A and B are shown apart, each in its own frame.
Chain A
Amino acid sequence: MQLLVFLLKRLGWMLITVWVVFTLSFFLMRAIPGGPLNGERVLSESVRAQLEQRYNLDDPLFVQYTTHLWNTICFDFGPSYKLQDFTVNEVLAQGFPVSAALGILGMTFALLLGMTAGVVSAVCRTSIYDFSFMLLATLGIAIPSFVLASMAIVLFVFYFQFFPAAGWGELKQIVLPAMCLGAPFAGYIARLTRTGMLEILSNDYIRTAYAKGLSTRTVILRHALRGSILPVVSYLGPACAGILTGSLVLEKIFAIPGMGSHFIEAALQRDFTLGMGALLTYTVLLYVMNTLVDLSYSIIDPRVVLE
């Protein structure tokens, strides 16, 4: 029951969020100079009039707003202005799985690497492992992902020839972008895990566990890790936003046909409908992720009460 109420409340807020984003960006888009019909060649008056009629751009702004809003509520984002062979729904349906897969892989990579490094650093505190892991983690945070990506390409594509340079579809092509995407987050997660772990390790119950004669491995994995995972979980929300941002860059570098490239192109070319579609998808995604994080937080830590 409690869960249901929580979810319903969140759903309500999500709708409000989506509406705010919709309204904000709708008017922002119209305030930007240039419209979807501007091209390198100037359209003749009659062609422009026809196209405006086709896309309902000749209606008053408020009418455009309400129609667009209503269509959006019906999950119809309309035709893409610049990819004329597709509707926005089709473009998103093609781009979303790609970006989602990239994001999940990047995140998984970040979690696995980050938590391992964090745990090892905490357990072997002040050892050479600790130092080098933390150095690497900070490096991961400090180097922008596009620099990392271009270095990785020179190294792993041309020098070692492990991976293809770019593209999407094969497993081989996914590894490099996912790693570059996850690297900064792995850095953060490693540091969070280390800090959390250190705090937990100084607790009495860990001492008790050791005193019971449990092996270090069992203590770390079954008792300490559970507590130290909390800061990591609460970081997952912001990390999701970061992954979205990061994938914009990596999609460009690795020629990945995901949502990020669609969005950037849409914004630059004034493809209002596609831009709106991508933006709202991102908003919903972010909201759902934030909710999931809150939810899992409460599951992992029974002290947290859902409100």
Chain B
Amino acid sequence: MIVIQCPLLISVRSNIFRRWVSKLVRKFFPLLILLALLGAVVWAVSMGTLPRADFVFNNGAEIKTMDPAQATGSPEGRVINALFEGLLRSLPAGEPDELGRIPMKPVARGMADRFTVHADGTVYRFHIREDARWTNGDPVTATDFAWSWMRFLHPETASEYNYQLFYVRGAEKFNAVQLAVGDKVEVELADRETPELFPRGTIRRGILRELILPLPTEGTAETDVADDVAAISGKAIFIVEFQTESGNTSAKETIAYAVSADGSLAGIDELKQTYTGDFPLADIQPCKHVLYDFNEVGIQVLSPQDLEVTLNSATAFFPELVAFYPLHPVHRGCVEQYGARRFTKAEHIVTNGPFRLKERRIRDRIRLIKNEQYWNAAEVELDSIDVMSIQSETTSLNMYLTGQLDWDTTPPNAMLPILKKRDDFVSTPFLASYFYRINTAKPPLNHPLVRRALNLAIDKRSIVDNVVKGGQTPADSFVPPGMNGYQGYQGSGQNVKRARELLAEAGYPNGKGLPQIEILYNTADSHRDIAEVIQQDWKKNLGINVVLRNLEWGSYLDSLQTGDYMVARSGWIGDYPDPNTFLDMFVTDGPNNQTSWGNVKYDNNIKMAKREADPAARMQLFVEAETILMEEQAIMPIYFYVSKNMVQPNIQGFYANLQDIHPLHLIKIRREGSATHDAISEDTN
């Protein structure tokens, strides 16, 4: 162009251009702002406003996932229980107890319409109802459950809750890859189409003939069972014999395999050198997994409608586990088509529960709508539900008070004394403990008397009445009361005099010589308040120097797990109504123990209780165990939680219970009489 040949013109042009632009901009500056504003408004509302759902509740945190096999935590549980349905369902059944709590029982009103127990409680047979359907129209069959549970147990799924199925015969073996020579195994060849776990590559089933493991490093015992971590990371060679059948002849084929994530077999050359057997190792095949044959696990499909589960030993609370959300089934076709992350998208997900997923906005809401295919759809009254994830307790309460929410799960502590007086406050003790872990490895806390003195010096009653204020009960034992006739350890409450005596007995009269004690808690005002009160109790009553340490969640967890604390605030919510879910925690070196505390008798009792069939004897074992835990004072119980629910008066079908579980499909709205919410005039006291 001409312009390019003449540099002078460029500058002139650019000057003109510039002046022109600047004139334009100056003239239209207000217009630009207006345009930006308009654009922003359009953008803001472009997400589309959803009309209010029939029922809106605050779920607290944003859920981690909708995949039953990956989920943990009660917010996830609420959503998954609405979307999916297991063989059994925990439903309110029976008479309310003295606190008005209706017990939750796992009953055959889920995918199974009946189940029978055989062989002294070790075999369960579930019959799946004929009219059970997935949302895409497929029937729900026993194979769906077997497959889902296989997926749940598969090591690559890495489900946090997989130990819940370890009561099933062979399940732990399958999950933890505990293989011994002679075991039946399944080999997944390295021919997956996608890096996703499902669809899996070709599966070959055979018998493990030889196992080459790395030499045990010093200090570890020699073993002939494949260590799970080693097996997964490709530090072992498996020699597997297959029975190949072509026509009428059957032949044997033996192949050596090594697990490899990417097909390379770099890590096992050293291993080859140590091998002294006579199998030629020249041709080792890479494979994805060598696992215990799932067909040998006690989960058998008898017919499309019948599933048989064989347990290691009689487990009284197995029905509770079957009704627990991690064991809910997923649709195989959906998972295999879309893969682990995408199958939960609203446009892909296939579910079998009373509701289906309509839309999901991150950290905003999950919109559920009624599933017309659900076998019991006639009894589901709600057409739509909004599951909100509002973090701030105050905001959530505000929304409840203005009628934006029908159910608020987290009213703030400061408001409880006022809220408690209202009719729409539904509160009842439930299965959860608030306690302080004591790191028994750190002096002076390694001295049991010091730990007991600290416990006795705390005024738990006043913490409950004046700090948390929700009607919680002060705790002297770890297991909350009210579980299957369990009568736990009885403590003595605050006793400052005794505490001082114990401290003196431990060699620290009047706290003299006692090092400074540090209380660790995670950032939250409620925890801080309690820590401050306890700090003062110890200072004032025992004369010891106490400091507080506050860490945000991530660092706090790390400190707990690495044992880098002295006294740490903790909480535990029971997974099922049985003392085992609490006491199992503190077995020696248990992953959730985190106190360095251990006691042989305690471990024994817990182990025996797992096998004990007689309920009374079993409870006795637990009582003994808890007594040990409390007398050694590895933890200081502070209080037992109460559920704190604000539920609008026109909501029905909301039952208080021990686990604070409120099945959404039972909720009904009383239509007559308009729901008016006049927040301010309701209670201004």
Contacts and interface: CB of A to CB of B under 8 A. Distances in A.
In the complex, are there CB atoms of A and B closer than 8 Å?
Answer: yes
A268 B554 contact: yes
Interface residues of B, number: 82
A299 B172 CA distance: 71
A244 interface: no
Interface string A52-70: 0110000000000000000
8 contacts: A42-B594, A50-B156, A98-B44, A108-B40, A158-B401, A167-B404, A170-B49, A296-B25
Given A44-B591, A46-B232, A165 B398 contact: yes
Contacts of B505: none
Contacts of B70: 84
A97 B66 CA distance: 24
A255 B33 contact: no
B536 to A, nearest CB: 28
Interface in B629-685: 679-680
B561 A166 contact: no
A59 to B, nearest CB: 11
Given A2-B14, A50-B156, A169-B50, A104 B232 contact: no
Contacts of B418: none
Contacts of A42: 561, 591-592, 594
A12 interface: no
Interface of B: 10, 14, 18-19, 21-22, 25-26, 29, 33, 36-37, 39-41, 43-50, 62, 64-67, 70, 72-73, 155-160, 162-163, 175-177, 228-229, 232-233, 261, 341, 344-345, 360-364, 388, 390-392, 394-396, 398-399, 401-402, 404, 552-559, 561-562, 591-592, 594, 679-680
A33 B44 contact: no
Which one of B19, B44, B344 has the greatest number of beta carbons of chain A within 10 Å? B44
A143 interface: no
B158 A253 contact: no
B558 A302 contact: no
B362 A111 contact: no
A105 B44 contact: yes
Contacts of A43: 160, 591
Interface stretch (A20-28, A85-93, A199-207): A85-93
Given A87-B341, A108-B40, 13 more contacts: A33-B555, A41-B160, A41-B592, A45-B229, A83-B62, A91-B362, A94-B361, A95-B362, A164-B404, A167-B404, A253-B395, A268-B552, A299-B21
A1 B558 CA distance: 55
A233 to B, nearest CB: 10
Majority-rule SS of A interface residues: helix
A300 to B, nearest CB: 7
Interface stretch (A132-140, A212-220, A257-265): A257-265
Interface string A163-205: 0111111110010000000000000000000000000000000
A33 B558 contact: yes
A158 B401 CA distance: 9
A34 interface: yes
A105 B41 contact: yes
Contacts of B592: 41-42
Contact of B341 (A2, A38, A79, A174): A79
Contact of A32 (B25, B48, B395, B554): B554
